[in-house]
Every structure is written in C-alpha cells, then in structure tokens.
C-alpha cells in the first residue's frame, strides 16, 4: 500500500514538473512538442485553445478503445497521468520564462519535460495519446511502437513548420532529444555502469590486475571457441563508467591481442555500487 501511494505521488509530481516545463519554457519560447501534446501546443498557437483542455479532449477517444484492449489497470494509470497533465498544465499556464536564446529555452524545456515524463513512466503510468495509438497499431498490425511513435512525432513536427517556422521547429528537435535522454536517465537510474567481457589467454594476470589495482571483483566463465573448439576462460566484470579506461589499459598491458567488449548496464546493485563491502556474517548463525 505504501509503495502504491508513493507511486501515485510520483505520478502527480512528474505531471507537475512536466507541465511547468511545457508552459514555462516550451510555450514561453514558442517551441513545439511531439505527440498529442504537440498537437495541443500547435492548436494553442493557432487557435488559442487552452493546452490542458485540448490535451484532455484529444485523449478521450483513444482511452476508450485502450480500455477494451489493454485492461482496466493500464487505462486507469494512463487516465490519471492524462488528467494530472491536463490539470497542472492549466494551472501553470501563466508561468512563463521566455529567453532571448531559443537554444537555452529548448534545453530547459527538454530537461523539465524529460524529468517529469521519466518520473511518470517509472511508475508504469503514461500520458496516453500517441502511446495508446502506438499500442493499438502494434496490437492489430504488429508494427514497432518505437517506429509508430517516431512517425507521429515526425508528422507533428512537420506540421509545426507551417505554424512556427523551420528554425523554431529545429530548436524543438533539440528539446525532444534532450527530453528523451533525461527520460532514459530517470527510468534507468543513476546506478549505471559498464559491463566488460574479456577473452584472453592471460585471463589470470588480467583478473589479478583488476583485483589489485581497481579493487573490483571479476567472474571467470568457461567458454569454448565456436570455430576452434578450444576451451577458454572469459573474464566478466562490472565497473563504473569512469573506470572503463583503466580496465582497458590493464588489458592492453597484459595482452594487446585480447578481445574486449564493453556494454552499458543499469540499476547496478551490489558491492562497490550500493555498498562498499559485504555485510559481516551473523556470528549467531
């Protein structure tokens, strides 16, 4: 129950931050968004229709089929997200922070909208609109949600050229890019790192160097070459981003011909990331 309440509070806070980003930076600098919010912003510029009310009315037709195909829980969460954004964007409509530099306005808009949406998405809720349309198209036609969402954004931004001009539309692309990166950061968490896979005949020396110089643990995995059939030991370790270069230097020093793969990892939990050393064993056990 406590977690559910905290999730709903996070949705409301995210909707408030998102709405502030829309009004204070995006609308104040005459920029545009993608999706249903983008359509609402264009109607605000062209017809002077209130953003919050327009966004709510646009979502009603897609929430109804969404209820039928995706269930009550998903649509309830989405409806709360839609209603919260509609309410807060109406309450913050007069919060305007225009800037003399459109790029600065785009950056602030991207950070605020991305932070707000990331908080909403992290709870499993959405802000409806294009997201539901993408889910419906995937349901009936099997198309990728990412491609559908991107297509909708392209259509909205293309239409925005006729309303705000091509230069402002390009600044709006900057805001969308920044927003998407902030969303990823909020959803994936700050406890991110790099997973490094090392294949080398000198695996013992490399692992020892990683242990002694970086104070990081490693895991040795037994593998077999697909072509040669020769057995090998593969080193697997996870380190913070700033230590990747040091690991690469260690590998280069020990074996210049080693095969190394580096991957992004997120929400890393364990020694060296969420605590410094394993908790002491209970003496009573």
* Predicted local confidence at residue 206, as pLDDT: 92
Contact between 85 and 127 (Cβ < 8 Å): yes
Residue 156 has pLDDT above 60, yes or no: yes
What does the pLDDT look like over 4-27, one tens digit per residue? 778 788 888 988 999 998 898 888
Domains of the chain by start residue, with CATH? 2-188 (no CATH), 193-265 (3.30.70.120)
The region that residue 142 occupies, defined by phi over 0 for left and psi between -120 and 50 for alpha, beta otherwise, is left
What pLDDT does 191 receive?
Answer: 61
Query: For residue 79, what are the contacts with CB-CB under 8 A and spacing of at least 6?
Result: 63, 128
The whole-number average pLDDT for the span 94-98 is 83
pLDDT exceeds 50 at position 199: yes
Backbone dihedral region of 272: left (phi > 0), alpha (psi from -120 to 50 degrees) or beta? left
pLDDT tens, position by position, 23-53: 988 888 888 888 888 888 888 888 889 988 9
CA distance 181 to 110: 9
Indicate whether 283 pLDDT > 50. Answer: no
pLDDT in tens, 215-252: 888 999 998 888 788 888 899 999 887 788 889 889 99
Q: Quick one: pLDDT band at residue 285, thresholds 50, 70, 90?
A: very low
What number is the average pLDDT over the span 174-180?
A: 83
């Amino acid at each position: 129950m406590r977690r559910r309440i905290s999730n709903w509070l996070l949705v409301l806070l995210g909707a408030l931050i998102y709405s502030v980003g829309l009004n204070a930076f995006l609308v104040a600098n005459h920029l545009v968004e993608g999706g249903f919010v983008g359509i609402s912003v264009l109607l605000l510029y062209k017809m002077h229709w209130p953003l919050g009310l327009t966004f709510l009315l646009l979502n009603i037709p897609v929430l109804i089929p969404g209820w039928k195909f995706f269930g009550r829980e998903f649509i309830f969460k989405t409806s709360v997200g839609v209603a919260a954004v509609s309410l807060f964007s109406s309450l913050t409509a007069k919060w305007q922070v225009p800037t003399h530099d459109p790029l600065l306005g785009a950056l602030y808009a991207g950070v605020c909208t991305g932070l707000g949406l990331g908080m909403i998405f992290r709870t499993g809720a959405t802000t409806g609109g294009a997201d539901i349309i993408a889910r419906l198209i995937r349901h009936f036609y099997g198309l990728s949600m990412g491609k559908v969402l991107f297509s909708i954004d392209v259509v909205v931004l293309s239409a925005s050229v006729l309303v705000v001009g091509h230069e402002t539309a390009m600044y709006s692309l900057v805001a969308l890019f920044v927003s998407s990166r902030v969303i990823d950061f909020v959803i994936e968490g700050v406890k991110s790192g790099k997973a490094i896979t090392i294949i080398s005949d000198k695996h013992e020396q490399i692992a020892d160097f990683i242990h002694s110089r970086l104070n990081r643990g490693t895991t040795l995995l037994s593998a077999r070459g697909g072509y040669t059939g020769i057995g090998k030991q593969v080193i697997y370790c996870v380190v913070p981003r700033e230590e990747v270069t040091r690991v690469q230097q260690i590998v280069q020093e020990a074996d210049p011909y080693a095969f190394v793969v580096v991957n992004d990892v997120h929400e890393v939990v364990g020694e060296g990331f969420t605590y410094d050393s394993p908790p002491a064993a209970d003496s009573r056990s």
